[in-house]
């Protein structure tokens, strides 16, 4: 990731927009945070490294005026999807693409350093060097990448007005993106049910997954909370929690760009992205559609065909 | 009242099991990578080496609880009338929280005031509170985001706990601080703790010094009113906030709730469940008006409640115990400590942020 090139681009773009959404340093070196630049003096505070995990496109629908946004490959798909759905105006967004070799899973890093407080971290080529009071740990970047990055098909943004770096080829070419889902699906129904009930048991209904999701657009009208109509109970039972997560997943059918923010945001570490990935797999098989790839596509749930090629229910057999 | 006993590390499980014979025991258990307060089972992996993701407040103040159940019935005498049958029995077993941190214990004390020092003390909360014994562990090391000493708490703070346990050679020194705590230490599994007292004092002192080095001494500077009322300050502070409830639900001191009636046909329950002031719905009025429609206003209220309003009501106490959970658990690493510090400094911005 090329920080100098990014700063150069931001410097040129800034005068033509209200705000540039990028990353700056957070409470420790493993936690850069989203930042909103409005003046050239702030440019030097920009950070860009594999710990820049957030999908900044999530902020776009809430920004009123023209904005520039720093996006990785997966995040760029969100921009496309948002524009297709009319949730943002393409002409209001300057897309600064960042070719990305993968972002780190902070959970994996913390696990590898036995949850010691981090006092420093740096990235050297394919190595992450983490400093704690107990010393330095060198971790192979590949071992601590987010799961979504291990099967990434779009390391270079699919859409960008400026590209901070050279195009990169997916390292995972040929690897099946949905193999993990197929393996999971092979388990028995009872096993899968038990798995999810156990995982959802620790859900605290904080809705971090929902709010971090760039494509969760119901906002204040989310059925999880509305009183009128009163769709869901406020009980903290496994059933209620499971119901909420299923609705979240279903609402993203043919829309989820697999940025993984829902799962990353979960403070309890529940693998909620797995549900969305499963639905994406089904959508791909059924409609041959992958969300957020091309501005010219029409998402399948936004259109209608009298005879769907792979849905046979209307045919008399 | 000081009674010091010694718990050998090897006997930790046996001791917890013995406690379990008398009461429900909640302990920090490892679930995948997450440390969560859960009922301790024989096969649980107890993890005391790092703070739990969420506080143990849910043991006393559950995420969702039934206040009463009700049933509508036709009056047998007069069919035009509907009667309501209520059941509001509160049944609470004896409970032990094992391995809380001093910030957790302080959090519970902060919630205590809200539910007891009022004209209408809360019977549900108080019933649980009374039946609960808190065993607190001296925090050996600060975690990322911890700032307890800055808000007047500390890694060896003993107030609000019934037993204080401090790591010493091969085990823990267990010191009773209350009668409840003393009763809990009546156990043949424990040995005489006197030989370990000096060691424990040393460990507590060292822990405190380490934390002060990390987060600083208690800051009693009042919040600057001008900064507090600056809209620009809050808009800047809130700009990356996603408006979820992770901070409030992980917080050991947040106690706001919502009440809903969950009715199906002729029967139902009145539920009390946690609510979060960062949610849009929190202050949504029946008229449709929302006095805190913007996230900046909601953040102002959240920080204001902890560092200003609570103290105005209860002797200047800060309703934050500096546990750092909201910082560690936030999807965008919002830093309450930095925001509060900027509010005190009268700097007008949150530029103090790293």
Residue-wise pLDDT for A194-234, tens only, equals 999 999 999 999 999 999 999 998 888 898 888 777 888 88
Q: Answer yes or no: do A225 and B335 touch at CB < 8 A.
A: no
pLDDT at A315 exceeding the cut of 80: no
Nearest CA in chain B to A120: B144
Residue contacts between A and B (CB atoms, under 8 Å): 120
Phi and psi, residue B302, nearest 5°: -65, -50
A117 interaction partners in chain B (CB closer than 8 Å): 141-144
- State the pLDDT at residue B1: 46
- State the pLDDT at residue B334: 97
Nearest CA in chain B to A60: B240
- State the pLDDT at residue A176: 81
Domain-located, residue B71: no
How confident is the model over A132-170, as pLDDT tens digits?
999 999 999 999 999 999 989 999 999 999 999 999 988
Distance from CA of B249 to the nearest CA of A (A): 7
pLDDT at A312 exceeding the cut of 90: no
Domain-located, residue B79: no
- State the pLDDT at residue A226: 81
pLDDT at A314 exceeding the cut of 70: no
Identify which of A33, A107, A268 has the shortest CB distance to residue B333: A33
Q: Which of B172, B196, B213 is the last residue of a domain?
A: B213
Q: Which of B172, B194, B213 is the last residue of a domain?
A: B213
A26 interaction partners in chain B (CB closer than 8 Å): 333, 335, 354
Nearest residue to B279 via CA among B302, B304, B260: B302
- State the pLDDT at residue A217: 87
Q: How many CA atoms lie within 13 A of A79 on its CB side?
A: 26
Which residues constitute the domain of residue B123? 1-61+93-213
- Starting at the edge strand that comes first in sequence, how are the strands of the sheet with B24-31 ordered? B34-39, B24-31, B95-100, B132-137, B163-168, B171-176, B3-8, B191-192
User: With bands split at pLDDT 50, 70 and 90, how would you rate the model's confidence at A305?
Assistant: confident
Q: How many domains does chain B have?
A: 2
Q: State whether B251 and B192 are in the same domain.
A: no
Q: State whether B44 and B104 are in the same domain.
A: yes
A31 interaction partners in chain B (CB closer than 8 Å): 333
Structure tokens that stand for B226 in this block: 């001008």
Identify which of A118, A220, A233 has the shortest CB distance to residue B262: A233
Q: Write out residues 313-332 of B within 8 Å (CB-CB) of A.
A: 327, 329-332
Q: State whether B256 and B314 are in the same domain.
A: yes
Identify which of A207, A219, A264 has the shortest CB distance to residue B244: A207
Q: State whether B188 and B316 are in the same domain.
A: no
Q: State whether B325 and B240 are in the same domain.
A: yes
Geometric angle at alpha carbon A310, from A305 and A314, rounded to 5°? 65
Q: State whether B243 and B351 are in the same domain.
A: yes
DSSP result, A75-139: HHHHHHHHHHTTSS-GGGEEEEE---S--B-HHHHHHHTTTPPEEEEEEETTEEEEEETTEEEEE
Q: State whether B206 and B224 are in the same domain.
A: no
Nearest residue to B49 via CA among A233, A191, A160, A117: A117
Domain-located, residue B72: no
How confident is the model over B19-54, as pLDDT tens digits?
999 999 999 999 888 999 999 999 999 999 999 999
- State the pLDDT at residue B353: 45
A236 interaction partners in chain B (CB closer than 8 Å): 62-64, 273
- State the pLDDT at residue A313: 67
Distance from CA of B238 to the nearest CA of A (A): 11
Q: Which of B184, B213, B242 is the last residue of a domain?
A: B213
Instruction: Give B44: exposed, middle or buried? Use CB within 10 Å, 0-12, 13-18, 19+.
Output: middle
Nearest CA in chain A to B243: A211
Domain-located, residue B239: yes
Geometric angle at alpha carbon B175, from B172 and B177, rounded to 5°? 150
Q: State whether B56 and B133 are in the same domain.
A: yes
- State the pLDDT at residue B33: 84
- State the pLDDT at residue A301: 86
Nearest CA in chain B to A231: B262
Q: State whether B149 and B193 are in the same domain.
A: yes
Domain-located, residue B80: no
Q: State whether B172 and B232 are in the same domain.
A: no
Domain-located, residue B67: no
Domain-located, residue B68: no
Please state the ipTM of this predicted complex: 0.94
Q: State whether B105 and B162 are in the same domain.
A: yes
Q: State whether B27 and B165 are in the same domain.
A: yes
Structure tokens that stand for A258 in this block: 């697999």
Domain-located, residue B77: no
Which residue is listed with tokens 């009667």? B83
- Indicate yes or no: pTM above 0.80: yes
B276 interaction partners in chain A (CB closer than 8 Å): 206
Note down pLDDT in tens along chain B; length 354 residues: 468 999 999 999 999 999 999 999 999 999 888 999 999 999 999 999 999 999 999 999 999 999 999 999 999 999 889 999 999 998 899 999 999 999 999 999 999 999 999 999 999 999 999 999 999 999 999 999 999 999 999 999 998 999 999 999 999 999 999 999 999 999 999 999 999 999 999 999 999 999 999 999 999 999 999 999 999 999 999 999 999 999 999 999 999 999 999 998 999 999 999 999 999 999 999 898 999 999 999 999 999 999 999 999 999 999 999 999 999 999 999 999 999 999 987 555 554 443
A144 interaction partners in chain B (CB closer than 8 Å): none
Phi and psi, residue B249, nearest 5°: -80, -25
- State the pLDDT at residue A174: 52
- State the pLDDT at residue A317: 55
Identify which of B274, B332, B354 has the shortest CB distance to residue A25: B354
């Amino acid at each position: 990731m090329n920080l100098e090139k990014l700063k150069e681009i931001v410097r040129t773009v800034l005068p033509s927009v209200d705000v540039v959404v990028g990353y700056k340093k957070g409470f420790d070196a493993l936690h850069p945070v989203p930042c909103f630049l409005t003046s050239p003096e702030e440019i030097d505070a920009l950070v860009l490294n594999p710990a820049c995990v957030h999908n900044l496109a999530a902020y776009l629908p809430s920004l009123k005026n023209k904005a520039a946004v720093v996006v990785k490959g997966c995040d760029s798909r969100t921009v496309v999807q948002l524009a297709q759905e009319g949730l943002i105006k393409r002409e209001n967004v300057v897309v600064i693409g960042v070719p990305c070799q993968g972002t780190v899973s902070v959970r994996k890093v913390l696990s590898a350093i036995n949850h010691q407080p981090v006092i420093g971290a740096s990235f050297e080529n394919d190595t992450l060097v983490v400093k704690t009071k107990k010393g330095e740990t060198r971790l192979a970047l590949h071992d601590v990448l987010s799961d979504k990055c291990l099967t990434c098909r779009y390391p270079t943004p699919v859409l960008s007005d400026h590209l901070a770096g050279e195009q990169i080829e997916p390292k995972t070419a040929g690897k099946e993106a949905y193999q993990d889902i197929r393996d999971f699906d092979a388990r028995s129904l009872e096993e899968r049910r038990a798995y999810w009930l156990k995982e959802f048991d620790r859900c605290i209904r904080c809705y971090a997954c929902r709010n971090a999701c760039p494509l969760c657009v119901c906002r204040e009208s989310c059925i999880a909370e509305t009183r009128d109509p009163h769709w869901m109970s406020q009980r903290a039972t496994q059933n209620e929690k499971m119901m909420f997560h299923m609705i979240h997943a279903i609402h993203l059918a043919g829309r989820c760009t697999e940025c993984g923010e829902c799962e990353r945001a979960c403070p309890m570490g529940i693998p909620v992205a797995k549900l969305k990935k499963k639905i994406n797999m089904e959508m791909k098989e059924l409609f041959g559609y992958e969300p957020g790839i091309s501005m010219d596509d029409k998402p399948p749930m936004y259109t209608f065909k009298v005879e769907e090629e792979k849905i046979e229910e209307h045919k008399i057999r | 009242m000081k009674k010091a006993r010694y718990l050998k590390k090897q006997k930790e499980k046996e001791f917890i099991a013995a406690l379990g014979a008398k009461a429900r025991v909640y302990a920090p258990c490892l679930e995948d990578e997450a440390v969560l307060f859960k009922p301790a089972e024989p096969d649980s992996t107890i993890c005391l080496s790092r703070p739990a993701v969420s506080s143990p407040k849910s043991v006393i103040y559950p995420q969702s609880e039934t206040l009463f159940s009700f049933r509508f019935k036709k009056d047998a005498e007069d069919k035009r009338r509907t009667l309501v049958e209520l059941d509001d029995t509160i049944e609470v077993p004896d409970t032990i929280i094992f391995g809380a941190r001093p910030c957790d214990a302080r959090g519970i004390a902060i919630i205590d005031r809200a539910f007891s020092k009022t004209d209408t003390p809360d019977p549900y909360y108080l019933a649980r509170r009374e039946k609960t014994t808190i065993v607190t562990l001296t925090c050996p090391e600060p975690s990322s985001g911890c700032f307890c000493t800055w808000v007047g708490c500390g890694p060896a703070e003993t107030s609000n706990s019934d037993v204080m346990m401090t790591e010493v050679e091969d085990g823990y020194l267990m010191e009773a601080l209350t009668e409840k705590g003393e009763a809990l230490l009546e156990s043949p599994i424990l040995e005489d703790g006197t030989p370990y007292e000096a060691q424990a004092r040393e460990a507590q002192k060292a822990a405190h010094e380490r934390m002060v080095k990390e987060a600083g001494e208690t800051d009693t500077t009042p919040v600057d009113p001008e900064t507090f009322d600056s809209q620009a300050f809050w808009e800047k502070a809130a700009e990356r906030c996603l408006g979820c409830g992770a901070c409030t639900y992980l917080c050991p001191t947040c106690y706001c709730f919502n009440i809903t009636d969950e009715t199906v046909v002729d029967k139902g329950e009145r539920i009390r469940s946690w609510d979060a002031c960062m949610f849009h719905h929190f202050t949504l009025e029946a008229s449709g008006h929302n006095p805190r429609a913007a996230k900046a206003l909601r953040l102002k209220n959240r920080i204001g409640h902890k560092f200003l309003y609570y103290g105005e009501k209860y002797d200047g106490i800060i309703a934050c115990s500096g546990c750092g959970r909201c910082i560690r658990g936030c999807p965008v690493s919002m830093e309450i400590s930095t925001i509060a510090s900027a509010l005190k400094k009268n700097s007008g911005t949150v530029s103090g942020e790293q």
